[in-house]
Amino acid sequence: MAKFILECPSCGNYVQASSGFFAKKKINCSCGYVIDVKTERVASRRCAKCGNEVVFDQAKGEKAKCPVCHEHINTVAQKSALVEFSCPTCSCRLSASKGASNYVCPLCDTEIDVAKAMAKEENKKSGAISVIKYEGGNDVLVWKHPMEDFNLGSQLIVHESQEAIFFKDGAALDLFTSGRHTLTTDSIPIIEKAYNLVAGNQEVFHSEVYFINKTIQMGIKWGTDSRVRLFDPASGLHIEIGASGSFNIGVSNSRKLLVKLVGTTGEFGHVDLIGDGVSSVTMTGKFKSLVMTKVKANLARAIKENNINILEIDSYIDELSVKLRDIINENLEEYGLYMPDFFITSVLTPDDDPNFIRLKQQFADKTLRVREEQIKEAEAQAAQSRKILEAQTEAQLKMVGAQGEAEALKIQKQAEAEAYKMQAYAEAEEMRAKGYTYGQESSRLVGMEAMKNGIVGQGGGGAGSVIGDVAGLGIALGAMGGVMGMTKDMVNPMMETTQQMGAAVTAPMQGMQGATWNCACGMSNVTSKFCPNCGSKKPEPPQGWNCACGMSNVTSKFCPNCGSKKPEAEQGWTCACGQSGVKTNFCPNCGSKKPE
């Protein structure tokens, strides 16, 4: 079993340890730290000769060497060499081994970097330092440089998004932004005035330097330490809610922050603002009371003023977050801080509270009633729409039916007129083929009718003679029996005679018809061409026209039966025999066909 000296990693003192199977695995140091021999026997130390950091096994004792310069690094002289320094927190004087890396202050439990503490002591001995720069962490808002004695000509290095302020006797002096600054009487006018420094002198002046981190510190958590009591504006019930979230914070005015908040502390981070942010129990920062008070008071007020239903509060989280941020910023501005963002991430509702259960039931019942009313209203509107649609459809069907009947009647009449027209064309074509006209046929028929009715002439060339001739001609034609089958040369003379007889019979009849007329002055049965009472001329009988549908004596431009337009007046033609104004396809005088 071999014995060796082991350095305590906590206080730097040396204790005796042993190697071997039955050796103690753990040793209690006088500072209270329990040393695990197996793990703590490997240590690191800077070589006094070459400056290399050497990791070695302390069980080797004085045989341990630096692998670079091969100098012994674990001798008794090196172990017994102690350094003195001051604790940065409680300022008590401490001593530790020169080769120790860390040392814990036995009074305030501050962990001290021995190498940095030795460097500070050397700077104090020399009276000043040449380079001043930030050495704090990223989550620190304000960091105080450990040195407080500086001389003209020192270099001040300020990183981006930082500011450096010299502080003396509770007053903020010169402020420097990012860059490298040489401390001269021109660059530190306020310090020069306070100390009455002489330009070009290497005089040492005592001052504190604070570095302010201007970056936004993000994701700082917060949460209410107790329930927020409020009356729900929708139901009037008393309920209690909680809220939590996070915010981002930054420095708006470095001087205000130092004077109002920091004081003489060495570091000031976002943990000092509101605590560690893990839970409401551990929120012990300087702004815990401010945030909690503003959240509790204004969250309940905003819900009441905006008539927000607590069951729908998640829909208003953005609006509530902005409102709370603006209110809190009004107080933070006094301390040189501001919140660019404030977030409410969750609102805790009392699900087991009887009032909250009643509130949910009331809201559900109200929603169902509103929904039922909406359904009934929609059904009533749909029924009304159906009635209107049915009435419109029925009216359209009736209209279509009436139009259909009228259209059907029109088509029927047009068909009848077309059939009659085709029949008339066929008869006219037959007459033309046999060599006589429709007028000649009509005169013949009149003559035959006169004979049938016993109209017999008395001779002498009068009307009775003509009627007798007609009767004789009719008897002759009846005896022949086949007049329609005669040839043109045989029928023409007889047709001309019959036509003349028919005209002689019909002339007196036409003269008898329409012999009298009624005047507009009131005189009736006037037989002369002029009214004997007022002298008005006898009106000309209206010239009617016959429609193809069978409607005769039509005086309007369109047929009232089928709607056909009045045909244009046909221009007659003149035959080669001298007959003019012929309107038929064959000349009634000579039977010649109308030229093409």
Q: How confident is the model at residue 340 (pLDDT cuts 50, 70, 90)?
A: very high
**For residue 326, what pLDDT is reported?**
92
Residue 574 · residue 583 · CB < 8 Å: no
C-alpha 531: how far from chain center: 89
CA distance 574 to 51: 146
**For residue 322, what pLDDT is reported?**
92
Average pLDDT taken over every residue of the chain: 74
Token readout for 230 is 């409020």
* pLDDT of 444 higher than 90: no
Q: How confident is the model at residue 477 (pLDDT cuts 50, 70, 90)?
A: very low
* pLDDT of 507 higher than 70: no
- The string of pLDDT tens digits covering residues 206-238 is 788 889 888 888 888 888 888 888 877 666 777
Q: How confident is the model at residue 374 (pLDDT cuts 50, 70, 90)?
A: confident
String of b and e for 467-485 (b: at least 16 CB within 10 Å)? bbbbbbbbeebeeeeebee
Handedness of CA 321, 322, 327, 330 (dihedral sign): positive
Q: How confident is the model at residue 125 (pLDDT cuts 50, 70, 90)?
A: low
Cα atoms found within 13 Å of the Cα of residue 377, Cβ hemisphere only: 6
CA distance 574 to 587: 9
Backbone angles phi, psi at 557, to 5 degrees: -75, -20
- The string of pLDDT tens digits covering residues 390-421 is 888 888 777 777 777 777 777 777 777 777 77
Q: What is the DSSP string of 141-162?
A: EEEE-S--EEEEEEEEEE-TTE
Q: What is the mean pLDDT of residues 524-547?
A: 81
Q: How confident is the model at residue 342 (pLDDT cuts 50, 70, 90)?
A: very high
Structure letter (DSSP) for residue 323: H
C-alpha 537: how far from chain center: 86
Q: What are the extents of the domains in the chain? A: 217-350
Nearest-5° angle of CA 382, CA 383, CA 387? 115
Percent of the chain with pLDDT over 90: 4
Quote the longest CA-to-CA distance of the chain.
Answer: 190
238-251/337-348 β-pairing: antiparallel
Backbone angles phi, psi at 547, to 5 degrees: -85, 160
129-132/149-158 β-pairing: parallel
R_g of the chain, CA atoms, integer Å:
66
Q: What is the dihedral of CA 73, 79, 80, 82, to 10 degrees?
A: 100
> What region, left, alpha or beta, does residue 342 occupy, with left being phi > 0 and alpha being psi -120 to 50 degrees?
beta
- The string of pLDDT tens digits covering residues 94-119 is 877 666 667 788 788 888 877 777 76
**Residue whose structure tokens are 């009216």:** 395
**Residue whose structure tokens are 């530790």:** 96
Closest by alpha carbon to 142, among 251, 7, 50, 16? 251
**For residue 8, what pLDDT is reported?**
80
Q: How confident is the model at residue 511 (pLDDT cuts 50, 70, 90)?
A: very low
More reliable by pLDDT, 167 or 202 = 167
**Residue whose structure tokens are 């204790």:** 15
* pLDDT of 515 higher than 60: yes
Residue 131 · residue 154 · CB < 8 Å: yes
Q: What is the DSSP string of 339-391?
A: EEEEEEEEEE--TT-HHHHHHHHHHHHHHHHHHHHHHHHHHHHHHHHHHHHHH
Residue 463 · residue 508 · CB < 8 Å: yes
* pLDDT of 506 higher than 50: no
C-alpha 90: how far from chain center: 62
CA distance 337 to 328: 10
Q: Which of 43-47, 410-414, 429-433, 478-482 has the lowest average pLDDT?
A: 478-482
In CATH terms, 217-350 corresponds, of 3.30.40.10, 3.30.479.30, 3.40.50.300, 3.20.20.70, to: 3.30.479.30
String of b and e for 101-115 (b: at least 16 CB within 10 Å)? bebbbeeeebebebe
**For residue 285, what pLDDT is reported?**
63
Nearest-5° angle of CA 334, CA 340, CA 345? 115
**For residue 99, what pLDDT is reported?**
62
More reliable by pLDDT, 194 or 471 = 194
Token readout for 312 is 């729908």
Q: What is the mean pLDDT of residues 317-340?
A: 90
User: Is residue 16 classed as helix, strand or coil in its secondary structure?
Assistant: strand
Residues 6+ apart with CB under 8 A from 66: 47, 49, 50, 52, 54, 72, 73
pTM reported for the whole predicted model: 0.43
**Residue whose structure tokens are 């007020």:** 301
